[in-house]
Amino acid sequence: MSLPLSRRNFLQTAGAGGITMWIPKQAHAAEESVIGMSKWDLDTPALCVDLDKLERNIATMRKKLAATGIASRPHAKTHKCPAIARLQLAGGSIGVCTAKVSEAEALFAGGIEPILMTTANVTPNKIRRAMKIRKANRQFIQAVDYPQNARDLSDAAKEAGVVADVVVDVAVGTRSGVPPDERALALAQLVDKLPNLKLRGMISYDGGAQHIKGFRKRLDESLKRYEPSMQTFEAMKRSGLNTEIFSGGGTGTYNIMTKVPGFTDLQVGSYIFMDCQYLEIGGEDNEQQYTDFEPSLTVMSTVLNAYFPKRLTTDAGAKALTLNKPGPIVIGENGFTYNAGSDEFGAIQYETANKEYKVGDRLELIVPHCDPAVNEYDQICGTRQDRVEVVWPISARGHSQ
């Protein structure tokens, strides 16, 4: 059977798992054609990042950590974009994290080497994929949280002809990781003994602590919840195990984890973009709003219907924003209630507006939660003073394996 279109119309690129992918040259040309355009003229929904704010967020993180001796190893699950990972590394980060093996593949294909995969790979094929990355990239580190998984990883590393770098994932709560008791120490000792693994230390991330509202409450509860992880770290150290990595934390606890003895690096993700969920939690200096980092990420949207009084319909619904809680923020308006519950449409209700809206008008939105929203787009437009300066492919979008 012949191909419907000649391959001459496609560009060849490396996809997940080393699979060759073909992207249409037209799509590539379309990316280029928006350079220099105002973000207010883009076809919508369009994902944009304000480059000045993005760069300031990276610089702010560096500045705030400078005196603490703690590094950042940002989580690339937030942006899934090698170009942004490169900016973070240039801005002082010691590496990046990924949640999925396919994200690690896409980032490595995009030239990023210091990668720590924070989720364990538990199936034979994913273990092989991880070890394939490790063989090509000496700076790849993999998390484990079960003894059998460590043995499987060691066997796969042997087959690949490498000694793989490993961190033990220690649980906070019940999501993932080995419980922070004698089982964690035993796993670290096993990793240390297995012939084709090299223990690098431990990771321990508390997903439940990041969005606790009110800085004081977040501080007290995070440190209390983290106590068993600290004890596990101490036990590993006392046993003479390698503890060069003690990593965790996120945007909500970046200035709390610095109080944990022995802690080495923060897996902060959302700080580069921010979103409605994070704006709500309040910070150390501002209990009402979390203003430590600036909301750099927005979705440009268009008004599709303005017939009905005090109602607007936009083209940004669940497929453009993914989550609807807390409601997206329309920049420049205070009294808008935005419901993004419908697949294709956003529904706005208001009592008063700062202008009279008509069909075709553009709105700029802060998204409810940045990670899943970014995962909906092929590319992100980097803007400066509203002009598109660069278009970056979000290479790992949709890479959920």
Ligand X SMILES: Cc1ncc(COP(=O)(O)O)c(C=O)c1O
Give the nearer residue to ligand X in terms of CB position, either 77 or 134.
Answer: 77
Choice from 101, 171, 172, 268 touching ligand X (CB under 6 A)? 268
Rounded to a whole number of angstroms, the minimum distance from the CB of residue 131 to ligand X is 21
Piece of 63-71, 88-96, 248-256, 326-334 that binds ligand X (CB under 6 A): 248-256
What does DSSP say about strands 329-330 and 311-314: parallel, antiparallel, or unpaired?
A: unpaired
Kindly give the interhelix angle for 101-109 and 82-90, rounded to the nearest 10 degrees: 70
Give the nearer residue to ligand X in terms of CB position, either 100 or 132.
Answer: 100
Give the nearer residue to ligand X in terms of CB position, either 196 or 267.
Answer: 267
Q: Is 270 in the site for ligand X (CB under 6 A)?
A: yes
Tell me which residues in 39-68 interact with ligand X (CB under 6 A). Answer: none
Q: How many CB atoms lie within 10 A of CB 182?
A: 10
With b for 16 or more beta-carbon neighbours within 10 A and e for fewer, the 96-111 pattern comes to: bbbbbbbbbbbbbbbe
Choice from 44, 93, 222, 251 touching ligand X (CB under 6 A)? 251
CA dihedral 388, 390, 395, 400 (to 10 degrees): -40
**Are 245 and 165 contacting, i.e. CB atoms less than 8 angstroms apart?**
no
Piece of 17-25, 128-136, 144-152, 247-255 that binds ligand X (CB under 6 A): 247-255
Give the nearer residue to ligand X in terms of CB position, either 111 or 173.
Answer: 173
Q: Which helix (H) or strand (E) segment is 187 a member of?
A: helix 182-193
**Are 374 and 296 contacting, i.e. CB atoms less than 8 angstroms apart?**
no
**Are 271 and 251 contacting, i.e. CB atoms less than 8 angstroms apart?**
yes
Q: Is 255 in the site for ligand X (CB under 6 A)?
A: no
Rounded to a whole number of angstroms, the minimum distance from the CB of residue 254 to ligand X is 7
Piece of 19-27, 100-108, 188-196, 265-273 that binds ligand X (CB under 6 A): 265-273
Choice from 118, 121, 149, 298 touching ligand X (CB under 6 A)? 118
* Helix ranges restricted to H, 19-113: 25-33, 51-66, 82-90, 101-109
Q: Is 78 in the site for ligand X (CB under 6 A)?
A: yes
DSSP, collapsed to helix, strand or coil, labels residue 189 as helix
**Are 371 and 251 contacting, i.e. CB atoms less than 8 angstroms apart?**
no
Tell me which residues in 308-347 interact with ligand X (CB under 6 A). Answer: none
Burial class (CB in 10 A: 0-12, 13-18, 19+), 298: buried
Q: Is 250 in the site for ligand X (CB under 6 A)?
A: yes
Piece of 124-132, 133-141, 244-252, 331-339 that binds ligand X (CB under 6 A): 244-252
Rounded to a whole number of angstroms, the minimum distance from the CB of residue 219 to ligand X is 16
Rounded to a whole number of angstroms, the minimum distance from the CB of residue 119 to ligand X is 7
Tell me which residues in 191-210 interact with ligand X (CB under 6 A). Answer: 205, 207, 210
The count of chain residues that interact with ligand X, using the rule CB under 6 A, is 13
Give the nearer residue to ligand X in terms of CB position, either 120 or 160.
Answer: 120
With b for 16 or more beta-carbon neighbours within 10 A and e for fewer, the 240-259 pattern comes to: ebbbebbbbbbbbbbbbbbe
Give the nearer residue to ligand X in terms of CB position, either 268 or 330.
Answer: 268
- 261: preceding bond cis by omega (within 30 degrees): no
Binding site for ligand X (CB under 6 A): 75, 78, 118, 205, 207, 210, 250-252, 267-270
